[in-house]
A and B are shown apart, each in its own frame.
Chain A
Amino acid sequence: DAKTTQPNSMESNEEEPVHLPCNHSTISGTDYIHWYRQLPSQGPEYVIHGLTSNVNNRMASLAIAEDRKSSTLILHRATLRDAAVYYCILRRALNTNAGKSTFGDGTTLTVKP
């Protein structure tokens, strides 16, 4: 599995944008970039995913570098409820629901009021 690396922790002020980086220098051409977040004592929650182009949804935006070796999750206005551990993982494109992914250590986001 291709590996991802993220900063251990980041801080943000409430209602300010947050940019969470992820490096995946060994990404292959068919790997999708996925982001999930996990609140304490809960299972991870899907945030966003992409392949090559930047992506937006109601939760966040995903900016993917042109060489695809890095990506950035953007929370446009952080709220206290966004405080969580954010994981960036890679998942190979398959036409089945097989295909495991490995989680790195993630980034713990702290949001200050």
Chain B
Amino acid sequence: GAVVSQHPSRVICKSGTSVKIECRSLDFQATTMFWYRQFPKQSLMLMATSNEGSKATYEQGVEKDKFLINHASLTLSTLTVTSAHPEDSSFYICSAFAQVPFHYTFGSGTRLTVV
């Protein structure tokens, strides 16, 4: 149980366009989801906390107007990278904490390449 599905797994977009990444909790309700970013050979960096029905909470240094988060239901959070640039190329991972079985579950990640 406690599966998080993330799509797409890989996306290539042109500079200046926007990309949406979806994260769904399949068998549990997640009022909170977390979005991470990971550069090669580095650890996961928490970008923001997505809250169902309210505004996301962004970590220091993360541009909220560039990384738009929507959490419209108890099972779906989306991250939209707006006006993407090559420096936004990274591995994006979503996560949710399931009370049962009491641990974080992570999506499989999205490899974003901006050309």
Contact = CB atoms under 8 A, between A and B. Distances in A.
20 contacts: A34-B104, A41-B109, A43-B6, A43-B93, A43-B95, A43-B107, A44-B95, A44-B106, A49-B103, A87-B43, A91-B97, A96-B31, A97-B32, A97-B96, A98-B49, A98-B51, A100-B34, A100-B49, A102-B46, A103-B45
Counting contact residues on chain B (CB < 8 A from A), the size range is 20 to 34
A32 B111 CA distance: 30
Given A34-B103, A91-B97, A97-B99, A43 B43 contact: no
A98 B43 contact: no
A36 B32 contact: no
A41 B111 contact: yes
A98 B32 contact: yes
Interface of A: 32, 34, 36, 41-46, 49, 87, 91, 95-106
A36 B108 contact: no
A104 B102 contact: no
Nearest to B93: A43
Given A96-B31, A100-B49, A46 B103 contact: yes
A31 B102 CA distance: 13
A99 B93 contact: no
The 5 closest A-B pairs by CB, nearest first: A43-B106, A97-B97, A103-B44, A98-B32, A46-B103
Contact of B43 (A32, A95, A105): A105
A45 to B, nearest CB: 7
Contacts of A104: 43
A88 B53 CA distance: 31
Interface in B9-53: 30-32, 34, 36, 42-46, 49, 51
Contacts of B4: 43
Contacts of B32: 96-99
B92 to A, nearest CB: 10
Given A43-B6, A45-B106, A91-B104, A97 B43 contact: no
